[in-house]
Amino acid sequence: MAPRIDVYDPSVYERSGIPFAQLTWLRENSPVHWHPDPEGPGFWAVTRYADVVAVSRAPEVFSSQRRSALLHELTPEGLATNQMIMLSQDPPLHTRTRSLVSRGFTPRMIARLEDRIRAICHEMVDRVIEQGSADFVGDLAAPLPLHVICELMGAPAADRDAIFTWSNQAIGADDPEYEGADGTMALFGYAMELGARHRTEPLDGIMGALLEETAEGRALTEEEFGMFVVLLAVAGNETTRNAASGGMLAFSRHPAQWRRLQADRSLLETAPDEIVRWVTPVNAFRRTATRDTEIGGHPIAENDKVIVFYAAANRDPEAFDEPDVFDIGRPPGTHVGFGGGGPHFCLGSHLARLELRVLFETLLDRTPDIALSAEPRRLRSSFVNGIKEMPVTFTPG
């Protein structure tokens, strides 16, 4: 009997005990599984690595634009707004947007942020080091990507608290603590203003570059810029936060890997990818079939919804040796934590890796004996494998 997958149930993604029990069951017994959904149209749950990759790389058959890449059904109004964001666009519209924004996210552009990210990590540790304890999420993992987004935006320091609040509201919509507040619109309005201000006071760095015309005469409009900032706040924040928190949790459950990293810092190059595979901060995205087709031999009808479960694919023994072993020396590059390799492959993957590398390097230097002092509290979300709170202790320094 197939288990009922509740995509809003945080226990689906709980890593302790048997990891991903329901998703593992599906991958092994019913890898392309029809899941009726009383609140929506139902969907095919795709859980095998090879199928997740195949769906991700065929945007002409599995569309992000026809309905939405997000798991929720959207109203027609919501759908129109949603498709202004590249995550829910198909080629050729997506290709145009992606080419405009990707010039800001090349490994070279991102590498320039390293010193600033290191300074942010040290500032965060400075704030808690004397007390010998912290909430890993609230004090370290959450502020880091938020600071980095502010940095990318070139937002004045005085605006940071507001940006923090709006971003939290924008990403926490599933969670009762954040219900009701429209952080998305506030952030969009703010970014539009910032884009307009750029005409007289140019923004530095990546975001400034997106508002400057290229040789072919193309730049983001203020509205596109606003949408892109909203996407960054959603795509870059909770993901990185939960990769960092989930990584810390993994190290606490596998202390030999923490000692290994301490003894061999060159593993800081591969550890971020293993953390992203292990944690899989983004559980799943949705596609809609544009015509009758098949996945792994299963017929799929036009307009059927298909949800690719990265979490299940990242533990597929056909793709990884000993997938249930957390091994920070595992060769990077094949997991689907940043997507299955299609046109939507995570734009921020270089930035996310850099943030994780510098954060854990800073912790090895400043709080080498960091350890969990209580079990983490999880976020109820259909989108991210979230940790809300995770108390840690370390020797004050």
Which of 7, 276, 307, 311 touches ligand HEM by CB under 6 A?
A: 276
Q: How far is the CB of 283 from ligand HEM (least distance, A)?
A: 9
Applying CB under 6 A, the span of 16-24, 189-197, 227-235, 261-269 interacting with ligand HEM comes to 227-235
Q: Cα-flanking dihedrals φ and ψ of residue 183, to 5°?
A: -65, -30
Closest C-alpha among 127, 326, 163, 314 to residue 236: 163
Binder of ligand HEM out of 154, 205, 208, 342 (CB under 6 A) = 342
Instruction: Check binding of 240 to ligand HEM (CB under 6 A).
Output: yes
Q: Taking CB under 6 A as the rule, does residue 340 contact ligand HEM?
A: yes
**Which residue's CB is nearer to ligand HEM, number 62 or number 394?**
62
CB of 361 to ligand HEM, least distance (A): 16
Tell which positions 37-56 bind ligand HEM, by CB under 6 A.
56
Query: Does residue 348 bind ligand HEM (CB under 6 A)?
Result: yes
Question: Which CB, 110 or 134, lies closer to ligand HEM?
Answer: 110
* CB nearer ligand HEM, residue 285 or residue 394: 285
Chain residue at closest Cβ approach to ligand HEM = 348
**Distance (Å, rounded) from C-alpha 183 to C-alpha 166?**
4
Q: How far is the CB of 147 from ligand HEM (least distance, A)?
A: 12
Separation of alpha carbons 320 and 105, rounded Å: 29
Instruction: Choose, by CB under 6 A, the member of 68, 82, 83, 239 that binds ligand HEM.
Output: 239
- Closer residue to ligand HEM (CB): 3 or 342: 342
Least separation in angstroms between residue 313's CB and ligand HEM is: 11
Site track 85-104 with ligand HEM (rule: CB under 6 A), x = hit: -xx----------x------
- For position 345 contacting ligand HEM by CB under 6 A, the verdict is yes
Only one of the segments 169-177, 288-296, 299-307, 334-342 lies at the binding site for ligand HEM (rule: CB under 6 A); that segment is 334-342
Taking CB under 6 A as the criterion, the residue among 282, 328, 359, 390 binding ligand HEM is 282
Binding test (CB under 6 A) with ligand HEM, winner from 337, 376, 386, 391: 337
Range 134-193, binding ligand HEM (CB under 6 A): none
Give the interface with ligand HEM as residue ranges (CB under 6 A): 56, 86-87, 98, 231-232, 235-236, 239-240, 243, 276, 281-282, 285, 310, 337-340, 342, 344-348, 351-352
